[in-house]
Protein backbone atom coordinates (compact mmCIF):
# COMPACT_ATOMS: atom_id res chain seq x y z
CA UNK A 1 0.00 0.00 0.00
CA UNK A 2 1.40 3.34 -1.03
CA UNK A 3 1.50 6.29 1.30
CA UNK A 4 -1.28 7.99 -0.63
CA UNK A 5 -3.60 5.01 -0.22
CA UNK A 6 -3.00 4.57 3.49
CA UNK A 7 -3.90 8.20 4.08
CA UNK A 8 -7.32 8.01 2.44
CA UNK A 9 -10.33 7.83 4.72
CA UNK A 10 -13.14 7.35 2.21
CA UNK A 11 -13.23 5.89 -1.26
CA UNK A 12 -15.65 4.42 -3.76
CA UNK A 13 -15.24 1.85 -6.52
CA UNK A 14 -17.43 2.09 -9.59
CA UNK A 15 -20.27 3.55 -7.56
CA UNK A 16 -23.44 3.73 -9.67
CA UNK A 17 -27.13 4.30 -9.17
CA UNK A 18 -29.84 4.11 -11.79
CA UNK A 19 -33.38 5.38 -11.36
CA UNK A 20 -35.36 3.54 -13.99
CA UNK A 21 -33.34 3.96 -17.17
CA UNK A 22 -31.65 7.12 -15.92
CA UNK A 23 -28.13 6.92 -14.57
CA UNK A 24 -28.15 9.37 -11.64
CA UNK A 25 -24.62 8.44 -10.59
CA UNK A 26 -22.43 6.43 -12.95
CA UNK A 27 -19.16 4.68 -12.18
CA UNK A 28 -17.84 7.20 -9.66
CA UNK A 29 -14.40 6.46 -8.21
CA UNK A 30 -13.88 8.91 -5.41
CA UNK A 31 -10.92 9.00 -3.06
CA UNK A 32 -10.84 11.35 -0.09
CA UNK A 33 -7.83 11.93 2.12
CA UNK A 34 -8.18 12.13 5.88
CA UNK A 35 -8.63 15.76 6.90
CA UNK A 36 -9.27 16.91 3.35
CA UNK A 37 -11.67 19.72 2.43
CA UNK A 38 -13.23 18.42 -0.77
CA UNK A 39 -15.70 20.36 -2.88
CA UNK A 40 -18.34 18.66 -4.97
CA UNK A 41 -19.83 20.83 -7.66
CA UNK A 42 -21.90 20.43 -10.78
CA UNK A 43 -24.99 21.76 -12.49
CA UNK A 44 -28.49 21.11 -11.09
CA UNK A 45 -29.45 17.46 -11.44
CA UNK A 46 -25.82 16.35 -11.79
CA UNK A 47 -26.30 13.72 -9.06
CA UNK A 48 -24.48 15.44 -6.19
CA UNK A 49 -27.14 14.78 -3.54
CA UNK A 50 -27.65 11.23 -4.86
CA UNK A 51 -23.92 10.65 -4.46
CA UNK A 52 -24.13 11.86 -0.82
CA UNK A 53 -27.11 9.57 -0.21
CA UNK A 54 -25.18 6.63 -1.67
CA UNK A 55 -22.22 7.39 0.62
CA UNK A 56 -24.28 7.54 3.82
CA UNK A 57 -26.62 4.68 2.92
CA UNK A 58 -29.92 6.50 2.37
CA UNK A 59 -29.86 5.22 -1.22
CA UNK A 60 -28.63 1.75 -2.13
CA UNK A 61 -26.12 1.61 -4.99
CA UNK A 62 -27.10 -0.23 -8.17
CA UNK A 63 -23.48 -1.35 -8.32
CA UNK A 64 -20.12 -0.45 -6.85
CA UNK A 65 -18.83 -0.13 -3.31
CA UNK A 66 -18.09 2.47 -0.66
CA UNK A 67 -15.27 2.10 1.88
CA UNK A 68 -14.79 4.11 5.04
CA UNK A 69 -11.44 3.70 6.83
CA UNK A 70 -10.89 0.39 5.05
CA UNK A 71 -14.27 -1.04 5.95
CA UNK A 72 -16.87 -1.71 3.29
CA UNK A 73 -19.94 0.32 4.22
CA UNK A 74 -22.12 0.08 1.12
CA UNK A 75 -25.17 -1.98 2.09
CA UNK A 76 -25.15 -0.73 5.68
CA UNK A 77 -27.98 1.40 7.01
CA UNK A 78 -27.46 5.14 7.65
CA UNK A 79 -27.47 4.72 11.45
CA UNK A 80 -24.70 2.10 11.19
CA UNK A 81 -22.66 4.36 8.92
CA UNK A 82 -23.21 7.23 11.36
CA UNK A 83 -21.86 5.04 14.15
CA UNK A 84 -18.76 4.39 12.01
CA UNK A 85 -18.26 8.14 11.75
CA UNK A 86 -19.86 9.54 8.61
CA UNK A 87 -22.88 11.86 8.55
CA UNK A 88 -24.51 14.32 6.18
CA UNK A 89 -26.60 17.44 6.62
CA UNK A 90 -29.68 17.79 4.45
CA UNK A 91 -30.02 20.17 1.53
CA UNK A 92 -33.19 21.81 2.86
CA UNK A 93 -32.27 21.29 6.53
CA UNK A 94 -34.04 18.47 8.35
CA UNK A 95 -34.30 19.47 12.01
CA UNK A 96 -37.06 18.10 14.24
CA UNK A 97 -39.37 21.16 14.26
CA UNK A 98 -41.26 20.44 17.50
CA UNK A 99 -38.07 20.01 19.54
CA UNK A 100 -35.95 22.80 20.99
CA UNK A 101 -32.54 23.52 19.49
CA UNK A 102 -30.83 21.78 22.41
CA UNK A 103 -33.05 18.69 22.10
CA UNK A 104 -32.35 18.53 18.37
CA UNK A 105 -28.62 18.56 18.93
CA UNK A 106 -28.57 16.19 21.89
CA UNK A 107 -30.57 13.64 19.88
CA UNK A 108 -27.48 13.45 17.67
CA UNK A 109 -25.38 12.51 20.70
CA UNK A 110 -27.59 9.62 21.81
CA UNK A 111 -25.86 6.99 19.70
CA UNK A 112 -22.75 7.26 21.89
CA UNK A 113 -24.06 8.73 25.16
CA UNK A 114 -26.87 8.86 27.70
CA UNK A 115 -29.38 11.74 27.67
CA UNK A 116 -27.42 13.60 30.38
CA UNK A 117 -24.05 13.11 28.69
CA UNK A 118 -25.56 14.00 25.31
CA UNK A 119 -26.89 17.26 26.78
CA UNK A 120 -23.34 18.24 27.76
CA UNK A 121 -22.06 17.23 24.31
CA UNK A 122 -24.88 19.17 22.67
CA UNK A 123 -24.07 22.38 24.53
CA UNK A 124 -20.45 21.94 23.52
CA UNK A 125 -21.43 21.47 19.85
CA UNK A 126 -23.74 24.50 19.98
CA UNK A 127 -20.93 26.59 21.45
CA UNK A 128 -18.63 25.52 18.59
CA UNK A 129 -21.08 26.78 15.94
CA UNK A 130 -21.97 29.86 18.01
CA UNK A 131 -25.61 28.95 18.57
CA UNK A 132 -25.58 28.26 22.32
CA UNK A 133 -27.61 31.38 23.12
CA UNK A 134 -30.61 30.08 21.15
CA UNK A 135 -30.48 26.60 22.76
CA UNK A 136 -33.99 26.86 24.19
CA UNK A 137 -35.69 28.18 21.06
CA UNK A 138 -38.02 25.87 19.18
CA UNK A 139 -36.38 24.62 15.97
CA UNK A 140 -39.42 25.59 13.89
CA UNK A 141 -38.96 29.25 14.89
CA UNK A 142 -35.37 29.59 13.62
CA UNK A 143 -34.19 31.50 10.56
CA UNK A 144 -32.64 29.47 7.75
CA UNK A 145 -29.01 30.36 8.61
CA UNK A 146 -29.67 29.39 12.25
CA UNK A 147 -31.23 26.11 11.17
CA UNK A 148 -28.22 25.31 9.00
CA UNK A 149 -25.81 25.92 11.88
CA UNK A 150 -27.92 23.94 14.34
CA UNK A 151 -27.97 21.02 11.94
CA UNK A 152 -24.18 21.25 11.76
CA UNK A 153 -24.05 21.21 15.56
CA UNK A 154 -26.29 18.13 15.58
CA UNK A 155 -23.95 16.45 13.10
CA UNK A 156 -20.93 17.33 15.28
CA UNK A 157 -22.68 15.83 18.30
CA UNK A 158 -22.46 12.37 16.66
CA UNK A 159 -18.63 12.73 16.81
CA UNK A 160 -18.08 12.25 13.09
CA UNK A 161 -14.84 11.62 11.19
CA UNK A 162 -16.35 12.60 7.84
CA UNK A 163 -19.07 15.24 7.41
CA UNK A 164 -20.95 15.74 4.15
CA UNK A 165 -22.46 19.21 3.91
CA UNK A 166 -25.21 19.57 1.31
CA UNK A 167 -25.49 23.27 0.45
CA UNK A 168 -25.17 24.42 4.03
CA UNK A 169 -24.26 27.90 2.83
CA UNK A 170 -27.25 28.45 0.56
CA UNK A 171 -29.19 31.57 1.62
CA UNK A 172 -26.37 32.86 3.83
CA UNK A 173 -25.15 36.44 3.46
CA UNK A 174 -21.44 37.21 3.09
CA UNK A 175 -20.74 37.63 6.82
CA UNK A 176 -22.60 34.46 7.75
CA UNK A 177 -20.78 32.58 5.01
CA UNK A 178 -17.39 33.74 6.29
CA UNK A 179 -18.40 32.49 9.74
CA UNK A 180 -19.28 29.04 8.36
CA UNK A 181 -16.09 28.88 6.27
CA UNK A 182 -13.96 29.66 9.35
CA UNK A 183 -15.94 27.13 11.33
CA UNK A 184 -15.35 24.32 8.82
CA UNK A 185 -11.62 25.12 8.55
CA UNK A 186 -11.35 25.27 12.33
CA UNK A 187 -13.03 21.90 12.78
CA UNK A 188 -10.73 20.36 10.21
CA UNK A 189 -7.62 21.88 11.79
CA UNK A 190 -8.50 21.19 15.43
CA UNK A 191 -10.44 17.94 15.25
CA UNK A 192 -9.20 16.49 11.99
CA UNK A 193 -12.70 16.14 10.56
CA UNK A 194 -12.85 15.48 6.82
CA UNK A 195 -15.43 17.53 4.90
CA UNK A 196 -17.08 17.01 1.54
CA UNK A 197 -19.04 20.08 0.60
CA UNK A 198 -21.70 20.53 -2.06
CA UNK A 199 -22.01 24.20 -2.78
CA UNK A 200 -23.23 26.41 -5.59
CA UNK A 201 -21.57 29.51 -4.26
CA UNK A 202 -18.26 29.64 -6.11
CA UNK A 203 -16.52 32.08 -3.78
CA UNK A 204 -17.19 29.75 -0.86
CA UNK A 205 -16.02 26.64 -2.61
CA UNK A 206 -12.90 28.26 -4.13
CA UNK A 207 -11.98 29.75 -0.76
CA UNK A 208 -12.59 26.60 1.28
CA UNK A 209 -11.65 23.55 -0.73
CA UNK A 210 -8.24 22.12 -1.47
CA UNK A 211 -9.62 19.89 -4.20
CA UNK A 212 -12.79 19.97 -6.25
CA UNK A 213 -14.64 17.16 -7.99
CA UNK A 214 -17.05 18.12 -10.76
CA UNK A 215 -20.09 15.98 -11.51
CA UNK A 216 -22.19 16.28 -14.64
CA UNK A 217 -24.95 13.84 -15.59
CA UNK A 218 -23.77 11.54 -12.81
CA UNK A 219 -20.19 11.31 -14.09
CA UNK A 220 -17.01 12.82 -12.71
CA UNK A 221 -15.93 15.13 -15.53
CA UNK A 222 -13.07 16.90 -13.79
CA UNK A 223 -11.01 16.84 -10.63
CA UNK A 224 -8.34 19.20 -9.37
CA UNK A 225 -7.38 22.28 -7.38
CA UNK A 226 -9.79 25.24 -7.44
CA UNK A 227 -7.46 27.01 -9.89
CA UNK A 228 -7.38 24.05 -12.29
CA UNK A 229 -11.14 23.60 -12.12
CA UNK A 230 -11.77 27.28 -12.75
CA UNK A 231 -9.89 27.11 -16.04
CA UNK A 232 -11.12 23.68 -17.20
CA UNK A 233 -13.05 24.08 -20.50
CA UNK A 234 -15.15 20.95 -19.85
CA UNK A 235 -16.34 22.35 -16.53
CA UNK A 236 -17.22 25.67 -18.10
CA UNK A 237 -19.20 23.98 -20.84
CA UNK A 238 -21.00 21.77 -18.30
CA UNK A 239 -22.15 24.84 -16.44
CA UNK A 240 -22.86 27.13 -19.36
CA UNK A 241 -23.97 24.42 -21.77
CA UNK A 242 -22.78 23.58 -25.26
CA UNK A 243 -24.79 22.41 -28.21
CA UNK A 244 -24.11 18.76 -27.40
CA UNK A 245 -25.03 18.89 -23.69
CA UNK A 246 -28.07 21.02 -24.42
CA UNK A 247 -29.06 18.41 -26.99
CA UNK A 248 -28.75 15.61 -24.42
CA UNK A 249 -31.15 17.40 -22.13
CA UNK A 250 -34.01 17.10 -24.61
Residues 233 and 205: their CA atoms lie apart, in Å, by 18
Minimum CB separation of residue 50 from another protein in Å reads: 14
Query: Which range touches another protein (CB under 8 A), out of 41-49, 62-70, 95-103, 171-179?
Result: 95-103
Residues 198 and 42: their CA atoms lie apart, in Å, by 9
45 burial via Cβ count (<10 Å: 0-12, 13-18, 19+): middle
Given 58, 76, 132, 171, the residue binding another protein (CB under 8 A):
58
Q: What is the DSSP secondary structure assignment for residue 159, as one 8-state letter?
A: -
The site for another protein, by CB under 8 A, has a size of 28
Given 106, 184, 193, 204, the residue binding another protein (CB under 8 A):
106
Taking residue 126's Cβ as centre, other Cβ atoms within 10 Å add up to: 26
Given 103, 146, 167, 199, the residue binding another protein (CB under 8 A):
103
Is 83 a binding residue for another protein by CB under 8 A? The answer is yes
Residues 102 and 233: their CA atoms lie apart, in Å, by 47
β 86-89/162-166 pair status: parallel
Minimum CB separation of residue 168 from another protein in Å reads: 14
Residues 129 and 185: their CA atoms lie apart, in Å, by 12
End-to-end CA distance of the chain: 45
Query: Which range touches another protein (CB under 8 A), out of 62-70, 108-116, 170-178, 208-216?
Result: 108-116
Given 39, 42, 47, 108, the residue binding another protein (CB under 8 A):
108
β 162-166/194-198 pair status: parallel
Q: Which is nearer to another protein, 27 or 119 (CB)?
A: 119
Query: Which range touches another protein (CB under 8 A), out of 35-43, 93-101, 177-185, 193-201?
Result: 93-101
Q: Which is nearer to another protein, 106 or 222 (CB)?
A: 106
Binding mask 25-54 for another protein (x = CB under 8 A): ------------------------------
Residues 250 and 244: their CA atoms lie apart, in Å, by 10
Residues 45 and 247: their CA atoms lie apart, in Å, by 16
Residues 199 and 204: their CA atoms lie apart, in Å, by 8
Rule CB under 8 A: which of 114-173 touch another protein? Answer: 114-115, 154-155, 158
Query: Which range touches another protein (CB under 8 A), out of 60-68, 104-112, 193-201, 233-241?
Result: 104-112
Query: Which range touches another protein (CB under 8 A), out of 30-38, 97-105, 211-219, 234-242?
Result: 97-105
* CB-CB contact of 125 with 156 (8 Å): yes
Which residues would be at the binding site for another protein (CB under 8 A)?
Answer: 56, 58, 77-79, 82-83, 87-88, 90, 94-99, 103, 106-108, 110-112, 114-115, 154-155, 158
Amino acid sequence: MTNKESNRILWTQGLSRNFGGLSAVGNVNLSVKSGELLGLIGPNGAGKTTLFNLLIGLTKPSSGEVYLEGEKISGLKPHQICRLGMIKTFQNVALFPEMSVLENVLTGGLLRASVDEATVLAKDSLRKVGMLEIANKKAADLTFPEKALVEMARALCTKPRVVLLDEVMAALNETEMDHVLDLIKGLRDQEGITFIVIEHHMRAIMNLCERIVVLSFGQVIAEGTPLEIGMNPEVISAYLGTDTTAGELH
